[in-house]
Amino acid sequence: MSPSTNRRLPALLIAASLVLALCLPALAGAHGKGQRGPAPKVHPAHAHHSHGNGHGHSGHHDHPGHGHPGHGHPGNDGRGKQVDVMTRNLYLGADLGPAIAATTPDALSAANGQILREVVHNDFPTRAKGLAQELLTEKPDLVGLQEVALWQTTPLSAAATPIAYDYLPELLAELNKGGPRYDVVVVQEEFDLEAPADYNGLPNDGPLPGFPNAEMLGRLTMRDVILARHGAGVQTWNAEGGNFSTLLEVPILGQPKPIKRGWTETDAKVRGSHPFHFVNTHLEAFQPLIREAQAKELVAPGGPATSSLPVVLVGDLNSDDDTVSFPDTLAYEALVAAGMVERSTDDPLSCCLKASELGVADGGSTADFDHQVDHVMTDDPDDITLRDSEVTGLLPVNGFWNSDHAGVFSSLNLR
């Protein structure tokens, strides 16, 4: 999500806290650590081959260009020299802003019903087809995913229509049609929120005291995920995730409600390359000082983006040096001060649609992509250089934009 597009992020975070304060006692807390993958794990070879060639930049945002005419991983002569990575924000699927304006239980359940209707309208099963095609076209070896939402409902009355979207298996089903192409390396749960919702708009069909119109509970669980390309010679080990200790806290009814964010990480080798440390993160979107503190956690001694191995960091940083304004620059500047160097393009820019609904008739425009918050970086610029970088998903397909973000792909040389 973008810090400079002042729409869904403040809404999401404040509304999430509002929901948490008012919800029934049915929440499950987010994990402090992610699901640890086996060590080591080889993502087996099959008939498909990856890609890569082109050019790029080193250092700051002085980009010589983007785009590549076609890809094909080098054979044994080039083995161990090329690693392709990607960062992709899937978009959680709704604007939670209506919950901010809710001043009564009825208004809150109506707002949550509107949110669920927007999730349905934004049709992740259709968007997953376009997202999968981006990955299958670019063929990144490792992918960092953000906003991998899980939407669930619990019916409270016979009037409820169940709603369920689990973005991870739906995306994997599209990716792996016809055979395995991507494997899950690690999943990290972030915030997990549940509240009464009036999805059908009918009065007095709910049993909850104070929420007479709420016929269901709606629940959102947010996750970050790393995927590895199956059959491309990718090996991963020491895969895990965690949450930042510095979190945004929004006081609701006098109680501070933390919004959990975090990271996923793994050590990896690709086609016999030197090993490296791959990190995926989604930094705080609303509060720039908390975002900066989270960036500093990443690169502090012993932090997830530090290693005896070269580090490749991808993710939605909600920050940049020259396409956003102060103080939204602070997190990116903290990473640069710690030695991180850009390894992705800002031509074209990759963030973000201003419309919360992603249908082709819902108001989104390519002109909305006017800044950069999705990045690929490294702490070892001498040994990890950029071959090529591309931005994906800048046009709608199948009647929808794939996400409010575009994707960012980088093909890297590892020495």
pLDDT tens, position by position, 128-143: 999 999 999 999 999 9
- The amino acid occupying position 408 is V
3 state DSSP class of 378: strand
The band of 105, judged by pLDDT with boundaries at 50, 70 and 90, is: confident
Burial class of residue 254 in the structure, from the number of CB atoms within 10 Å of its CB (0-12 exposed, 13-18 middle, 19+ buried):
exposed
pLDDT digits (tens, 9 = 90+) for 321-341: 999 999 999 999 999 999 999
Specify the pLDDT at position 250. Answer: 64
Which of 54-58, 94-98, 99-103, 391-395 is the least confident region? 54-58
Distance CA 156, CA 61 (A): 52
Residue 115 in tokens: 């949110």
Query: pTM of the full predicted structure?
Result: 0.85
Which is more confidently placed, 277 or 76? Answer: 277
Cβ density class 280-310: b for 16+ within 10 Å, e for less: bbbbbbbbbebbbbbbbbbbeeebbbbbebb
- All domains in the chain, ordered by first residue: 8-414 (3.60.10.10)
The band of 2, judged by pLDDT with boundaries at 50, 70 and 90, is: low
pLDDT digits (tens, 9 = 90+) for 33-59: 444 444 478 897 533 333 333 323 333
Asked if 345 and 57 touch (Cβ cutoff 8 Å), the reply is yes
